Amino acid sequence: MTANLPGAALLLDGRADDELTLALAHEALVDGLSADGWAVDDWRLRDEKIAWCTGCFKCWTTTPGLCAHRDGGRKVAERWVPSDLVVFLTPVTFGSYSSELKKAVDHMIPILLPFLRKRAGETRHQQRYEHRHDLLVVGTVPAGQADGPEAQTFRRQVERNTYNMQPPRWAVGVLEQGTNDAEVRAAVNALLAEVGVHAARDAVGAGRSEVVA
């Protein structure tokens, strides 16, 4: 797999609290990216005031590319667009993202255009900007549920989201709560390697193979 040159990574931290497995995954993500020379924009969303998207579509019709709400939601597109890698970190919640992350993801709509085109037999929005971002998504579920229905729905949602986001490369992993630090780091390194992060690829090649994602 071709490695990404170190660039800018946006980490959208959708944790509602400091649950241990998510905390370990967060640390492993930051460490893996930083070790390879990536500039990490580590954004803890629960500290930001972001309103729910109201579906007004003013970001398309009135102020193109800019959310109508004057709060942290405007920063999502601003910080997303120049990034080379976008990372989602979240507890799996009803097969989807946490409420904190969902609010942020909904505010990526200004990055798209209101115009539609057919891709792979489906109708999809066109991109506003030429620059594309790789996508990495890490979620957690209760112990024993990594292959359960919520985890399967979560993986499927991420896949469907990529149809509009159009990342050149993407990866999704689900960790079980209670996974120890070594296993979390192995899983995160394997996921980072899937999106071409060089230091993570080397760590996996050095013998960390206990992937639980």
Answer yes or no: pTM beyond 0.95: no
pLDDT recorded at residue 207? 36
**Mapping DSSP to helix (H, G, I), strand (E, B) and coil, where does residue 199 land?**
helix
Each residue's pLDDT expressed in tens, for the chain with a length of 213 residues = 455 668 999 999 999 998 999 999 999 999 999 999 999 999 999 999 999 999 999 999 998 888 888 888 888 889 999 999 999 999 999 999 999 999 999 998 888 898 988 888 889 888 888 889 999 999 999 999 999 999 999 999 999 999 989 999 999 999 999 999 999 999 999 999 999 997 655 655 443 333 345
Inter-residue contact 196 to 169 (CB < 8 Å): yes
pLDDT recorded at residue 201? 58
pLDDT recorded at residue 209? 32
Residue 193's alpha-carbon distances to 88, 101, 128, 168, 210, in angstroms, are: 16, 23, 28, 14, 14
pLDDT recorded at residue 69? 87
**Mapping DSSP to helix (H, G, I), strand (E, B) and coil, where does residue 113 land?**
strand
Boundaries of every domain in the chain: 15-205
Q: How far apart are CA 58 and CA 39, in angstroms?
A: 32
Which one is the CATH code of 15-205: 3.40.50.360, 3.40.1160.10, 3.40.50.300, 3.90.1150.10?
Answer: 3.40.50.360
pLDDT recorded at residue 98? 97
Helix spans in the chain (H):
20-35, 58-61, 73-80, 99-106, 149-165, 181-194, 198-205
Element (H, E) at 114: strand 112-119
